[in-house]
Amino acid sequence: MRVELQHTSSDFDSYRAARVKSMFNAESGCNWQKTIEIDLPEDWGLGLIVGQSGSGKTTLGKAFFAENRMYDPYAGWDNSKPIVDCINPEGGFNSVTAALAGVGLGDVPSWLRPFGALSNGQQFRAGLARVICEAPMEVVVDEFTSVVDRQIAKVGALAFGKAWRRNKGHKAVLLSCHYDIIEWLQPDWVYNIDTNELKKKLTSGKGRRSSLTFGRSAEVTGSILKRIII
């Protein structure tokens, strides 16, 4: 898979813009481009793109599938209703409550509150539950786990990974600047957009896939692919 990413804006010539160019030897900030090449596995359902802010993750996410499949788990909530009524209204009650509990939102009274009345962590988990229940065939989720503390992020990643793998044939790509969720999420592949490094799960002779981890630092030095059969 090859994707050409490009951003173009005006080349500003204000006093401050000109001074920045002069002081920091920056010719222009109006053009940004990057070529991405990813050799994806043939059979996959869950992928993760990691990288620093400004590295092009969101732009890549928009171009990843034939059509823009970006999904905002924080948008589209009706704050005149409790979240239990907003998640997959046409679906089954049990599937919604199971998804909420599965992503770690086990505080039942919070199900009776509107989305806007929830904490950041609760909103994140409610958004995950909604994605799981809607189960689109193709979806890209930006800023995955970015607004919650790292313990909630890990639990949410674990729950999402387990739930999404039940959707055979569906594909989800998550975008994140955090590496600590990889061993919890256990995606089929992880692409580091900063280093153009791709890691795939290995398949054993029995058809099972190995656990997948990257180094936990932002530098991703000494990346390790654990061969632990799950």
The pLDDT of 216-222, averaged and rounded, is 34
Task: Report the candidate in 211, 153, 152 with the shortest Cα–Cα distance to residue 178.
Answer: 153
pLDDT band at residue 84 using 50, 70 and 90 as cut-offs: very high
- In tens, the pLDDT along 153-190 reads 898 899 899 999 999 999 999 999 999 999 999 999 99
pLDDT at 108 over 50: yes
C-alpha to C-alpha distances, 21 to 12, 16, 29, 55, 169, nearest whole angstrom: 10, 9, 9, 21, 49
Beta bridge partners of 7: 32
Residue 203: its pLDDT value, please?
A: 53
The pLDDT of 98-123, averaged and rounded, is 92
pLDDT at 191 over 60: yes
pLDDT band at residue 131 using 50, 70 and 90 as cut-offs: very high
Tell me the average pLDDT of the chain.
84
Query: Whole-angstrom Cα distance, residue 130 to residue 83?
Result: 9
